[in-house]
Structure 1
Amino acid sequence: MFSMELILAAFGGGILGALIGALPAFIFTGFVGLIGVAVIASGGPATILGDVVFGTLLGPHIAFAGGVAAAAYAANKKNLLASGGDILTPLKKTNDAGVILVGGIFGILGYVINSLYASIALPTDTVALTVFTSGVLARFIFGQTGLFGKYSAQGEVAAATELPKRSFVPDAKSLTFVALYSLGLGLVVSYLVDLTQINVLGFCISAALLIFAQMGFDMPATHHITLVAGYAAIATGNIFIGAAFAVISGILCEIVARTFNSYCDTHIDPPATTIFILSFIIFIFM
């Protein structure tokens, strides 16, 4: 089931993700994915998408997950990074072989875990599920705040006798904003995916757009919205169902982010978590 060549390649992919940083690696996933989409749209093979974009070089379960784990290790075990949740910083700055070695090890883990999930035909996006699994493993191995974070009012409510209530759901204004842009993205991506029958088209565009977040602009992640919309549109042939799932995805991701990535010291990816949950529902029922 496992190939030594692929295991070694996954080790290299994980090192790449650690060296250049988790988010930069994921951004390249988007750009190279757009090349793969263009090849498919021109009648060519899916090799670039299957073996490069979602394979050992740039697969999020390998390169991105390796970068996430390496950042957690660099910050929490070596004190070489300000935050274990920092997925933007290239870890070349640490000049530490152990940091990128962790990236390589988690690259192998990503390949093995995803292969196991795929071998038992789990009805979900196994790459997204692997990214979530890898993030949880990294938190328990390198983090100190537990799965749901260690809630403290220190620095927020000084000398308070009681902690303010932790919020897992955004306020109505934020929810309305997220729901509206999710709807818009869901409608346009569902239409284009139904037209081209390439369900990762929106995902690749969204991943590439995160280059603006890397530059420091307030750019939201949207790949969970566009990929789930694509899955639903392909499954049903109905762009309105695709748009509905896009809205659900946008809102769910906000809740997941507050649940797993608040008051914590490592990164568990909210978009990947959202994708595997909603793709499970789509694959099972649609």
Structure 2
Amino acid sequence: MNIQLILSAFGGGVLGTALGALPAFIFTGFIGLIGIAVIAAGGQPAILNDVTFGTLLGPHIAFAGGVAAAAFAANKRKHLDTGLDIVTSLNKCKDPMVLMVGGFFGIIGFLLNNLFVAMKIPTDTVALTVFVSGLIARMAFGKTGVFGKLSKPNEQKRKIAPDFNDIVLDIIIGLSLGLVISYLIILTEITTLGFCISAASLIFVQMGFEAPTTHHITMVAGYAAVATGNMFVGALAAVIASILGDLVGRIVNSYCDTHIDPPATTIFICSLVIFMIF
């Protein structure tokens, strides 16, 4: 770790802010797929390791910077209706402080991830960093507390547990993606293949379609499949991640005014369990 990397992380956070958190993450997915193609062709892993998950587009830097900047832009500067808005490109705010906050959280993400790696925490440290960064942003810029609160006394209380139909959908998506992604990851030995495909697929969400968010499902499936060499274990882990992601989203993002990322939270929890077991 040196000053060049810290300054680079600041730039990555500003980029994630200017583009918007979700657009930056989509970009992460597409560049990741390019990096995977390079590796499959016999090339070096630099694009995947140092660009996709490095200081330019690493989710702990670009995405997390954009999330924190959205929280600041909404709750402190009134540029957005809500800090949960991770779709809007914050360049529209024309506010230097919004960009600076994103850059600052890019540095925070870089330092936190390095700390977690040095501590040898047995989990996906990038996902853990995205969760912690979002938590810091909520405490710094949010007004609804860590778990949210009703804005009006007569509002309907949050429904934490998914209903039967939601659980069935979670199981079908988790099982289906878990099977195919686990098979492909065992075949290619590239753990992040499913994650990058899922991240890139969020371009449809950015376009306004109701496409599912699946990168927590495919990443957890990848970890379980690589750890065991068994696609069925990967599929089971994917189902658990699918249901857990739904539950986490209801807990951390209901009646809240900033974004704590449910997929990242799910990935760090599930990967912690997988790494400790296997």
Q: Shared fold (TM-score greater than 0.5)?
A: yes
Spell out structure 1 runs of 4+ moving beyond 3 A.
Answer: none
Alignment partners' CA distance in 2, 1:54 and 1:92: 23
Is 1:22–1:67's contact at 8 Å kept on the other side of the alignment?
yes
Q: Which residue of 2 aligns with 1:218?
A: 210
Structure 1 residue 263 corresponds to structure 2 residue 255: yes
- Sequence identity of aligned pairs in percent? 63
Q: Is the 8 A contact 1:153 1:164 kept in 2?
A: no
How far is the alpha carbon of 1:152 from its aligned partner?
A: 4.5
2:247 counterpart of 1:248: no
CA deviation map 1:236-278 (0-9, x unaligned): 0000000000000000000000000000000000000000000
Tell me the alpha carbon deviations over residues 43-83 of structure 1, each in whole angstroms, 9 at most, x when there is no partner.
21110111000000000000000000000000000001111
Report the residue type matching 1:280 in the other structure. L
Give, as a single letter, the amino acid of the residue that structure 2 aligns with 1:218. Answer: E
Q: TM-score, normalised by structure 1?
A: 0.96
Deviation at 1:42, TM superposition (A): 1.3
SS of 2:34 mapped into structure 1: helix
What is the Cα deviation at residue 166 of structure 1? 2.8
Q: How does 1:150-161 map to 2 (within 5 A)?
A: 150-152=149-151, 160=154
Moved more, 200-209 or 168-177: 168-177
2:176 is equivalent to residue 184 of structure 1:
yes
User: 1:120 is aligned with what amino acid?
Assistant: M
Deviations 1:106-131 (A, max 9, x none): 00000000000001111000000000
Residue number in structure 2 paired with 1:70: 69
Is 1:69–1:103's contact at 8 Å kept on the other side of the alignment? yes
Quote how far apart the aligned CAs of 1:153 are.
5.2
The answer (yes or no) to whether the contact 1:14–1:63 under 8 Å persists in 2 is yes
Aligned residues: 278
Distance 1:119 1:218, change over 3 A: same
Alpha-carbon distance, 1:151 to partner = 2.6
Question: 1:157 corresponds to which residue?
Answer: none
| Aligned-residue CA RMSD (Å) | 1.0
1:30 aligns to what? Answer: 29
Q: Does 2:6 correspond to 1:7?
A: yes
- Taking the aligned partners of 2:132 and 2:194, their CA distance within structure 1 comes to 24
Distance in structure 2 (CA, Å) of the matches to 1:101 and 1:186:
39
Distance 1:246 1:110 in 2: 26
Q: Distance in 1 between matches of 2:189 and 2:264?
A: 22
Greater CA deviation, 39-48 or 63-72?
Answer: 39-48
Matching residue within 200, 207, 210 for 2:199: 207
Q: One-letter code of the match for 2:231? A: I
- Residue 104 (structure 2) pairs with residue 99 (structure 1): no
Please, which runs of 5 or more residues in structure 1 have no aligned partner?
155-159
Task: Call closer, same or farther: CA 1:85–1:164 in 2, change over 3 Å.
Answer: closer
Equivalent in the alignment of 2:130: 131
Please tell me whether residue 235 in structure 1 is matched to residue 234 in structure 2: no
What TM-score, normalized by structure 2, do the two folds share? 0.98
Cα deviation for residue 220 of structure 1 reads 1.5
Question: d(CA) in 2 for partners of 1:164 and 1:73?
Answer: 27
* Aligned equivalent of 2:189, options 181, 197, 208: 197
Separation in 1, partners of 2:64, 2:26: 13
Q: Which runs of 5+ in 2 are unaligned?
A: none
* Contact 2:158–2:254 (Cα < 8 Å) also in 1: no
Alignment of 1:47-58 (within 5 A): 47-58=46-57
